[in-house]
Structure 1
Amino acid sequence: MFLTHTLAAFGLLSGIVQLTAQVFSLTFSTPLLVITATVGMSAAWGVAQILPQGTSERSFSHPNMRVRIVPGDLFEQSGHIVVGFTDTFDTCVTDDVVISRSSVQGQLLERWYAGAQDELDQEISDALSSHSVTSVESRADKPQGKLARYPTGTTIALTRNGRMAFGTAYSRMGNNLVAESNPERIWVSLCRLWETVYEHGHREPLAIPVIGGALGRIDTLSHENLLKMILLSFAAASRGRVVTRELTVVVHPPALRDINMLEIRHFLMAL
C-alpha cells in the first residue's frame, strides 16, 4: 500500500512539475534537487496514507446521512447514544460484581443518573413493560442481580434531558454473572436496534460504541470486525430510509491498537 500511494503521488507531482515548466518556460538549474524533493514529498504522502488514523467519515446522498468513526468517550458525544445490556438488563455496580463500573452500562448509571440505580431500574422496568419475558431465573440459581430474561435484541429507549439512550440486549448474563455473546446475537441486536432508533430517534444524531468489544467476551471477532459489523448492519438498515442523519461510532482509544483504520476507511467507502 505504501508503494502504491507513493508512486501515485510521484506521478501526479511529476506531471505538475512538467506542466508548470512548459507553461512558464522554466528551466531548473538543479534538476536533481527537484527530483529529490518530488520523491520526498511522494514518500511522505505514502507514509501519511498508511499510518493509522483515529477518525474516518463518509457522507451518503441516498439516503442523505453521514457516518463517522472517532476515538473518544461515548458520553461526550452529542445527540442520542447506544448502550449495550445483557438479557437481564442488570444495573448493579456494587463492588463490580454484577456490572463493572467501567462498562458502558456502569457509566450510564454514573453519568446520566448520578448513581441513582433505583431511578434507572424504574425507567428500564417501565420501558420493558411492553416486551415479553422469555424466562425467569430462581434466586437460588442466580444469587445476585435481576432474574427476568428478555429475548436477544430487545431494545428500549431511555429518555434523559431531551436525549435518548437506546439500550439493546446483545449478550446473555450467566447465573455465574459472566456475560457472553456471539456474532449471531450481535447481528440480531444491531438489526433490532436500528428499528427502534428509526421509530423513536427522530433522525437525530446517534453515537454507538463498538458493542461486544470489551466485556461481551466475543473471542471470535476482533474490534475491527465488530466495527465492520456495525457499519454493515447500519448500511443495510438505511437502504431506502433514514435511520439517523448522523451515526458516530465511538472507539475506545485503547482499542485502536486492534483496528486498521485504513482498512476501515476502505470498507466504509465500499458500502
Structure 2
Amino acid sequence: MMKYILNSIKAQFSRGHLWIVTKAIFSFIGLSVTFLQALEYLLPKEYSQPIVDFCKGNLKYEIFGLAIIVFVYNWKRLGYLWKCRSMEVTIEIKCCDFFKQEGSKLIQFPDTFDTDIYDKKLVKKSSLNGQFIVSFFGDSIQELDQKIYETLDANNVKSSKNPKLKGKKLVYSIGTVMHLEHQGQNYILTAFSRMRPNGNSSMSRITYTDFLSALWKKLAVINVKDETLNITVFGASSISGLPADFSYQDKLHEIIKSFLLASKNQRLCKKLRICMTADDYRQLDYEDIKSLAAYFDSHLSQLDLKSSHTERRRGVSFKPLLKGVL
C-alpha cells in the first residue's frame, strides 16, 4: 500500500503538475489578499481586523489545506474505469503495482522467450519480464525455462530454429502465448518482439498491429483463468524499430481498440486492467481516453476487426475519428 501511495505521489508531482499546484496556491494567495483588502475597506476596523489577523495567522495552514485539496483532486485521475455499453466488458486504466493486482498477468517476452538476465543480459532487469524473472525465479531460472519449454511443447506450439542467435535458438511466432501458474498466481507469457542476432529485441509498426491481432485470438483459445486480465502498455519503453512518432497514447489507442473489436466475437475477459507506472501517467491524456470511450460507445457496432486492421497497416490514423466526440 505504501509503495502505491509513493508511486501515486511521484506520478502527480511531474513538472506539469507542480506548475498546476503552484499556480493554484498563488491564485489562492492573490484572492485572499484581495478579499482581506475588501473587508478592511467595507467593514469597520473593529469587525474586519479580527478576520484579517486570523487569516494572516493561519495562512500556512490554509495553503497546506489547499495543496491537499488539489492533490486529492488529481489523485482521482490516477485511474479511469469504463464499462463498454454495448458489451459486458470493462476497461480500467490504473497507476499501480502491476504484480500486486488481482487477476491474470500478461508479460511480454522476445519471440525466443529468453530469460538470460545475468550472463549475456538478453533481458533487462528493469523490463517487465526482467522484473518477473528476478522477483519469482531469481535463483531458479532453469526452472522457469523448463516450464516454458514443457508448456509450449505440450500445446504443440510450432517453432523455427535460428542458430545465429546469442541465447535460445528456438523462435516462436509473434503473439504466441502460454499459461504459467506460479505461487497461486496466473501468468501469461507472450512473444512480443523479435530477438536479433546482436542480442537486441526489435519491432516494426506493422508487427505491433500483428502482435495485438494474434494475441487476442490466442488468448481466446487458452481461456484466461481469471475474470481480470492485467497488462501494461506494450512497448511503452523505447524499443528498436518502432517509429518515434508512435507515442504512448497511440499505443494505448491500439490496445484498447484491438481488444474491444476482438471481444465482439469472442470472450477474452470481463475486465482488462491497463497498469501504468508513474512515468506512464505523465504521458497520459485523460481527455483523449474519454473521447475514445465515447467514440466506441457510439460506433463499436459499426466497426469490424478486419477493416480496422487493414486501415492501420495502410497507415490510416485513428485519431481523426475522435475529433468532436466530446
For the pair 1:212 / 2:235, whether they are aligned, the reply is yes
2:109 alignment partner, SS class: strand
Counterpart amino acid of 2:234? I
In structure 2, what is the Cα distance between the partners aligned to 1:250 and 1:106? 17
Aligned residue in 2 for 1:133 = 159
2:122 alignment partner, SS class: coil
Structure 1: which 4+ aligned runs deviate by more than 6 Å? 48-52
Offset at residue 65 of structure 1 (A): 2.1
Moved more, 91-100 or 242-251: 91-100
For the pair 1:225 / 2:247, whether they are aligned, the reply is no
Aligned residue in 1 for 2:264 = 239
- Preserved CA contact (<8 Å) 1:86 1:173: yes
For residues 58-77 of structure 1, the aligned pairs below 5 Å read 58-77=82-101
Offset at residue 84 of structure 1 (A): 0.8
Aligned residue pairs, count: 220
With normalisation by structure 2, the TM-score equals 0.62
Offset at residue 121 of structure 1 (A): 0.5
- Preserved CA contact (<8 Å) 1:92 1:99: yes
- Preserved CA contact (<8 Å) 1:98 1:145: yes
Write the deviation string for residues 100-131 of structure 1: whole angstroms up to 9, x where unpaired: 01111111112233442111111111122111
2:77 alignment partner, SS class: coil
With normalisation by structure 1, the TM-score equals 0.74
Offset at residue 238 of structure 1 (A): 0.8
- Preserved CA contact (<8 Å) 1:152 1:170: yes
Aligned residue in 1 for 2:293 = 268
For the pair 1:176 / 2:176, whether they are aligned, the reply is no
**RMSD (CA atoms):** 2.4
In structure 1, what is the Cα distance between the partners aligned to 2:96 and 2:123? 22
- Preserved CA contact (<8 Å) 2:175 2:218: no
Offset at residue 227 of structure 1 (A): 0.9
Structure 2, unmatched stretches of 5+, are 1-71, 297-326
Counterpart amino acid of 1:151? S
- Equivalent of 1:166, from 175, 188, 211? 188
In structure 2, what is the Cα distance between the partners aligned to 1:244 and 1:193? 13
Structure 1, unmatched stretches of 5+, are 1-47
Offset at residue 207 of structure 1 (A): 0.4
Aligned residue in 2 for 1:149 = 171
Counterpart amino acid of 1:213? A
- Preserved CA contact (<8 Å) 2:89 2:269: yes
1:211 alignment partner, SS class: coil
Aligned residue in 2 for 1:98 = 122
